[in-house]
């Protein structure tokens, strides 16, 4: 007869074997066998997969930009600005980008499959999290790209010079662009320009030159006053800064009208030789268009200023009605430490808070980096596509310009990727902090 002690020993061994035994092939996860369905994936794990998708989309966007850049280089090569080596360099960068995109797509698909094995988290379910967690920033970045594209479209349209006999129609053409171009939509520039332009338009050439002289004198005095205030450690006065901006815009408009009036007078018609007439007309037209594009820059600045104010906000971290991202650092850390019983746990909690706050600050700085990267890309591209006379580039100059364009494009892709990464990583770190604090996110 088995003793009670032996019976207990057998029962204990059977339990230990049961715990360590591997599931039978095809049995599936325990949750699936017991409940008939898998649990939804935690938000943090879905965010990690979405980060892979965001980086994949960023690489694809970089590839599209490089494709456009390659077309620009090929066109510039026909005009003698770039060599075949420059074109091949862009093509090499494009191919490398496509290779990186393939690897990123594989990483994303792997992440989705791993989630699918453990949780009910296919791409459709990930799409819902993407709508809430990622698309607000992605849409915002697209808006800035659209604005730069709209300005480039104006440049491309103006790069085709008008024939000398159509000089009388140039004013109407430019007025139409200023009223209907995509870059002016939603700006006060669009509604105010007709009135401001009419003021300059009715002036005689002599009156126009006199007003420009007075405006330049006023601007010089304001700049001297600002320099004196800064030398004494003071800050510029807001009213004076506003007036400086107004003067700069008005003077640009006045210089545009002055160049347009001179162009409409068609002085090249007095020249005997056809090639001289064509050369002078072309030079005067480029001057008009250069000033006109500078005038349109005011609308672009207004759109950019509005765009800066609409960056999507990171979700807050609130503990007992205290926003840990907005308050003083020490106050935030005290609030976190107070929720832990053990000193080691309090130190770990404060460390995670610092990570969340650092990501929030990095997000604000990366906004500026992204904007600067866009300008660094757009400047050289505008120089290639604009109607301005650029003069001979030369081999050294063309190589430097090619490097600038490629480096700027890489910087833009890197800045966009950093923004997307910080945006997602902040949300993951925030959820982890809430979990350690044993609080539900608001």
Position 302 pLDDT exceeds 80: yes
Give the CA angle between residues 298, 300, 303 to the nearest 5°: 110
Specify the pTM.
0.72
- Give residue 300's pLDDT: 85
Strand partners, 322: 319
As a whole number, mean pLDDT of residues 247-273 equals: 94
- CA-nearest of 113, 100, 101, 102 to 45 is 113
11 — pLDDT class (breaks 50, 70, 90): very low
Position 15 pLDDT exceeds 50: no
Cα-based distances in Å from 44 to 51, 378, 417, 428: 11, 37, 19, 5
- Give residue 162's pLDDT: 56
- Give residue 159's pLDDT: 66
- Give residue 245's pLDDT: 92
Residues of the chain above pLDDT 70, percent:
82
Residue scoring higher pLDDT (243 or 394): 243
Contacts of 137 (CB under 8 A, 6+ apart): 312, 419, 420, 423
Phi–psi pair at 345, nearest 5 degrees = -70, -35
Position 344 pLDDT exceeds 80: yes
**Cβ(374)–Cβ(412) below 8 Å:** yes
The predicted-structure confidence for 141-196, as pLDDT tens digits, reads as follows 888 888 877 877 787 777 665 565 577 889 999 999 999 988 898 899 999 999 99
The predicted-structure confidence for 377-432, as pLDDT tens digits, reads as follows 876 665 555 544 444 445 566 778 788 888 989 999 999 999 999 999 999 999 99
Q: How many helices and strands in the chain, by DSSP H and E?
A: 14, 2
**Cβ(386)–Cβ(155) below 8 Å:** yes
The DSSP call for residue 169 is G
Instruction: Please give the mean pLDDT across all residues of the chain.
Output: 82
Cα-based distances in Å from 202 to 196, 211, 259, 429: 11, 12, 14, 62
The predicted-structure confidence for 288-298, as pLDDT tens digits, reads as follows 988 998 899 89
7 — pLDDT class (breaks 50, 70, 90): very low
b/e map of 280-316 (b: 16 or more CB within 10 Å)?
A: bbbebbbbbbbbbbebbbbbbebbbeeeeeebeebbe
The predicted-structure confidence for 37-68, as pLDDT tens digits, reads as follows 556 567 777 888 888 888 999 999 999 989 98
CA 37/CA 45 separation, integer angstroms: 19
Position 113 pLDDT exceeds 90: no
Residue scoring higher pLDDT (14 or 329): 329
Out of 1-5, 64-68, 178-182, 364-368, pick the least confident. Answer: 1-5
The HSE-up count of residue 274 (CA atoms within 13 Å, CB side) is 2
């Amino acid at each position: 007869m088995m003793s009670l002690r032996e019976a207990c020993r057998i029962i204990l061994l059977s339990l230990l074997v049961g715990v360590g035994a591997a599931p039978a092939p095809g049995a599936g996860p325990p949750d699936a066998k017991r409940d008939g369905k898998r649990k939804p994936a935690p938000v943090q794990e879905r965010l990690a997969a979405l980060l892979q998708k965001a980086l994949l989309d960023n690489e694809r966007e970089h590839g599209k930009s490089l494709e456009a850049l390659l077309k620009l280089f090929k066109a510039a090569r026909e005009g003698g600005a770039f060599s075949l080596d420059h074109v091949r360099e862009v093509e090499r960068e494009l191919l490398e980008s496509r290779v990186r995109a393939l690897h990123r797509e594989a990483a994303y698909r792997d992440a989705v499959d791993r989630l699918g094995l453990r949780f009910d988290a296919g791409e459709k379910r990930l799409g819902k999290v993407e709508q809430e967690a990622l698309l607000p920033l992605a849409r915002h970045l697209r808006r800035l790209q659209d604005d730069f594209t709209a300005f480039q479209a104006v440049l491309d349209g103006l790069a085709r010079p008008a024939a000398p006999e159509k000089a009388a129609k140039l004013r109407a053409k430019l007025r139409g662009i200023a009223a209907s171009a995509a870059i002016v939509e939603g700006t006060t520039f669009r509604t105010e320009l007709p009135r401001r332009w009419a003021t300059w338009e009715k002036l005689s050439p002599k009156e126009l030159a006199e007003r420009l002289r007075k405006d330049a004198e006023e601007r010089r005095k304001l700049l001297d006053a600002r320099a004196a205030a800064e030398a004494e450690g003071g800050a510029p006065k807001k009213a004076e800064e506003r007036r400086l901006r107004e003067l700069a815009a008005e003077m640009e408009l006045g210089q545009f009208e002055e160049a347009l009036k001179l162009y409409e007078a068609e002085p090249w018609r007095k020249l005997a030789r056809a090639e001289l007439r064509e050369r002078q007309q072309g030079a005067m037209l480029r001057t008009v268009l250069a000033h006109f594009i500078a005038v349109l820059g005011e609308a672009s600045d207004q759109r950019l200023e509005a765009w800066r104010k609409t960056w999507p906000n990171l979700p807050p971290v609130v503990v007992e009605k205290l926003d840990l991202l907005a308050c003083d650092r020490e106050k935030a850390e005290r609030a976190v430490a107070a929720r832990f019983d053990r000193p080691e746990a309090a130190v770990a909690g404060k460390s995670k808070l610092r990570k969340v706050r650092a990501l929030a600050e990095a997000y604000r700085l990366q906004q500026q980096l992204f904007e600067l990267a866009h300008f660094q890309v757009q400047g050289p591209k505008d120089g290639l596509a604009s109607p301005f006379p650029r003069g001979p580039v030369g081999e050294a100059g063309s190589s430097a310009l090619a490097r600038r364009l490629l480096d700027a494009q890489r910087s833009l892709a890197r800045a966009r990727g950093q923004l997307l990464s910080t945006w997602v990583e902040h949300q993951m770190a925030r959820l982890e902090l809430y979990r350690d604090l044993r609080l539900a996110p608001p």
